[in-house]
Amino acid sequence: PVVPGATMANKPRSNKQSKRRASPPASALRRHVVASLLVAVSLPAALSLCGSRLERSGLLALEQGEPATAVAQLTRARQFAAYSGAALLGRLPGGLLWSGLSPNSEYAAGRAVLESRGEVLAAIDHFDAAIRGNPNLWPAHANLAAVQAGLGDVMAALEACQRAIDILVIRADDAPAPADPGQVLSDLHLMAGQLLERLPASRCSGGS
């Protein structure tokens, strides 16, 4: 004989019941989402903090006359910039997250690379980055001109030198003020004259 209720007890569960029991509770899902968001935000922020500290320590090393240490620190900071909070989350208003070396730091890194290693191409890379960040950073233009002149690229050196002169003459915004503007302009004009002397006669006369 069939025992009442036995058939009900052995009846397989419906698909709907199985799915309901297999799915996690909504609260657990929310906790997982919140934890993922915290990791996504905190990791880039931590990398930004590390990059900012490396930049400051690199500049401090330069002030203390340790260009080799400065290059190592600023190079590491540059590497952090690709994974910083600003790079991954987008630039936030008010500079809330470090976004990479400042133009002045890029310029300082270029000088340090030249002093400690004599790496001309690496210095050019830093000077170019400084100029992209602040087109009116005349020391970067002036040093770029000197490096390019040493490589024999006279026209590029002359253009960079003239740009530095123009920035100082018009006193462009965001341009650092030299301690002795007259002396700096005199030195730049002297460099420009020497570069003009190195140009072929056809370039100086416009090709005529």
pLDDT of residue 200: 78
Predicted confidence (pLDDT) per residue in 78-111, tens digit: 887 766 544 444 444 444 566 678 899 999 999 9
Residue range 42-69: average pLDDT?
A: 83
Q: Is the pLDDT of residue 60 over 50?
A: yes
CA pair distance 145, 156, nearest whole angstrom: 7
DSSP-derived secondary structure letter, 199: S
pLDDT of residue 10: 53
CA-atom Rg of the chain in angstroms: 30
* pTM, entire model: 0.70
pLDDT of residue 94: 43
